[in-house]
Amino acid sequence: MDHFSMSTLSVVVDTEVERGTRSSRFAPVTAWFLAASLALVPTVSSAFLSTENGGSGPTGNDSSMAPVVLENDATADQDMAFSQGVTRYWTSERLMNAQVLDMPVTDLTDMDSQQSFDDMTAVTPQSHASARGEGKAIPNRRSRLHQRLDREALKALIKAAKDRTDDANSTLDNTTFDRGTANLDFSSSRLVPRSARTAYPYRTVGKLFFSKPDGDYVCSASIIGKRLVLTAGHCVYGNHDGTKQFWRNFLFVPAFYYGQAPYQQWSWSYVVIPGSWAASPSVPNQSDFAIIEARDRVVGSSLTRIGAWLGHLGWRTYSLSNNHVKQMGYPCNLDSCQEMHQVDSGDYVNNSQNTVAYGSDMRGGASGGPQVMNFGNPSVGQFLSLGRMNQVVGVNSYGHGTNVFLKYIGSSTLNSEFVTIWNMACAHKVGNCS
């Protein structure tokens, strides 16, 4: 066990984890929150990296617009103050009251057949060699709980989450729980056991907190590099009151569970989005994804990179269609986005703008979560005929809105714009990817 003091989110803390039950209700944030102010202003710029170091660089119909970057330009002396300032922003009250970011909604072009990708867009999996990034598993390392909630308070929170979920499902026919009217089959479940969230590869997925001009919100995200976190473009950038802008105060909490932060909480130093999303932040979009550079934290006595500590997922371009995926995230229609959820589906429909929709009952809050092929840990003697283990092929982007009977989640296909922002993020700081 690693001996360090866990950073608590001060919302509600798990009693299920390994050390038993102790009490504290909505406790104040820990002392390390008391840092410098948020006066440091990040800079926004656009850049383009022509070389693609991580794999082949398909072009096709992908946009050649320059990616757009949000960067903290603090000096080395200001760097810690900026990081602690972001964390200071996330008071116990803000964390508790962060709203679900509604998942963008779009109609499916075709729901009657799984037509070929060529019919929907000129960019096909077959026309380009896929680029890929390898995942990295790290042996389990667990933290000590810093605070816990008393048993009755935790029971009350779980009951409230269950009641809200039951209310949302009360009008549904039980026969539609694993297939909506979009006729896309899937299997949906909490993690089994729930403690799996602390094991690789589940712990690479977490909850993303951020602020917009009108309030604080939550999305989902996953670790894909030594410092790099993948989420949806609309979770970091969008149109507010007619102005395109980056959101602020990004805070990533891997393996979040009812207020528990078993692997601390991670501030940001750099965000990059594809040009297609910057130019037109609406769905369906061929590039609704973004990469955040997580700022290093002290774990034990050492300054540590998030992916070097917890492991990370890999990725594979042009491989979303005609595949099978595990969708992951923190949907607020299920367990009030207080615990990680998983959906498995191989039933899909190709949609417009280089996107693919798979069957799913996850809604807002799951945005930005990964869609992973070959998820899990391989058995001795196991042979994969397609790809490698734990490769992200898509990011939860859009859904079925208030029509709860449709049941699907759409994703942009990882494309050459993804390779471009990956290369930019890797090159931004030594050690981001290796």
Q: Is 23's pLDDT higher than 60?
A: no
Write down the pTM of the prediction: 0.76
Per-residue model confidence (pLDDT) at position 85: 78
* Rounded CA separation 217/139 (Å): 32
- Six token digits for residue 306: 């998030």
Max alpha carbon distance in the chain (Å)?
59
Q: Annotate 241-254 with DSSP letters as a single string.
A: TTEEEE-EEEEEEE
Per-residue model confidence (pLDDT) at position 180: 85
* Stretch 233-241: mean pLDDT: 96
Nearest to 261 by CA among 221, 203, 336: 203
- β-pairing, 325-329 vs 341-345, is antiparallel
Across the chain, mean pLDDT equals: 77
Indicate the range of 102-116, 200-214, 243-257, 388-402 predicted with least confidence.
102-116
Q: What are the start-end ranges of the E strands in 331-416?
A: 341-345, 348-351, 355-359, 370-373, 391-398, 408-413
Determine what percent of the chain is predicted with pLDDT higher than 90. Answer: 55
- Cα Rg of the chain, angstroms: 20
Q: What is the pLDDT of residues 289-299, one digit of tens each?
A: 999 999 999 99
SS3 17: coil
What number of helices (H) and strands (E) belong to the chain?
7, 23
Determine what percent of the chain is predicted with pLDDT higher than 70. Answer: 68
- Six token digits for residue 375: 């998820």
* Stretch 128-136: mean pLDDT: 67
Virtual CA dihedral for 214, 215, 218, 221, nearest 10 degrees? Answer: 70
* Stretch 124-132: mean pLDDT: 48
Query: Residue 425: which residues within 8 A CB-CB, separation 6 or more?
Result: 225, 228, 270, 272, 291, 293, 432, 433
C-beta separation of 237 from 249 below 8 A: no
Per-residue model confidence (pLDDT) at position 86: 86
Q: Is 237's pLDDT higher than 60?
A: yes
Per-residue model confidence (pLDDT) at position 236: 98
Query: Residue 209: which residues within 8 A CB-CB, separation 6 or more?
Result: 90, 95, 98, 216, 217, 218, 249, 250, 251, 252, 253
* Rounded CA separation 87/268 (Å): 10
C-beta separation of 294 from 266 below 8 A: yes
Q: What is the pLDDT of residues 340-395, one digit of tens each?
A: 999 999 999 999 998 999 999 999 999 999 999 999 998 998 888 777 999 999 99
Q: Which helix (H) or strand (E) holds 205?
A: strand 205-212
C-beta separation of 250 from 52 below 8 A: no
Q: Is 270's pLDDT higher than 60?
A: yes
Per-residue model confidence (pLDDT) at position 57: 29
SS3 117: helix
Per-residue model confidence (pLDDT) at position 24: 32
SS3 158: helix
Per-residue model confidence (pLDDT) at position 404: 78
Q: Which helix (H) or strand (E) holds 292?
A: strand 290-294
Per-residue model confidence (pLDDT) at position 160: 58
Per-residue model confidence (pLDDT) at position 382: 86
Q: What is the pLDDT of residues 312-341, one digit of tens each?
A: 999 999 999 999 999 999 999 999 999 999
C-beta separation of 367 from 203 below 8 A: no
* Stretch 243-257: mean pLDDT: 97
* Stretch 144-152: mean pLDDT: 41
* Rounded CA separation 159/157 (Å): 5
- Phi and psi at residue 254, in whole multiples of 5°? -65, 140
Higher pLDDT pick, 5 / 264: 264
- Cβ atoms within 10 Å of 61's Cβ, excluding its own: 15
H-state helical runs in 2-109 = 76-89, 92-97
Q: Which helix (H) or strand (E) holds 108?
A: none
Query: Residue 31: which residues within 8 A CB-CB, separation 6 or more?
Result: none
Per-residue model confidence (pLDDT) at position 266: 96
Q: What is the pLDDT of residues 50-104, one digit of tens each?
A: 222 222 223 334 545 899 999 876 555 566 666 777 878 998 889 888 998 888 8
Q: In DSSP terms, which residues pair with 344 in a beta bridge?
A: 187, 326
- Phi and psi at residue 342, in whole multiples of 5°? -135, 140
* Rounded CA separation 174/4 (Å): 46
* Structural domains of the chain, ranges and CATH numbers in brackets: 31-428 (2.40.10.120)
Indicate the range of 178-182, 231-235, 316-320 predicted with least confidence.
178-182
SS3 433: coil
Q: What is the pLDDT of residues 150-175, one digit of tens each?
A: 445 445 555 555 555 455 444 444 44
Q: Is 412's pLDDT higher than 50?
A: yes
- Six token digits for residue 84: 């602690």
C-beta separation of 337 from 347 below 8 A: no
Per-residue model confidence (pLDDT) at position 38: 35
Per-residue model confidence (pLDDT) at position 163: 58
Q: What is the pLDDT of residues 194-228, one digit of tens each?
A: 999 999 999 999 999 999 999 999 999 999 999 99
Q: Which helix (H) or strand (E) holds 97?
A: helix 92-97
First to last CA, the chain: 25
Q: Is 244's pLDDT higher than 80?
A: yes
Per-residue model confidence (pLDDT) at position 162: 54
Amino acid in the structure at residue 108: L
* Stretch 245-249: mean pLDDT: 96
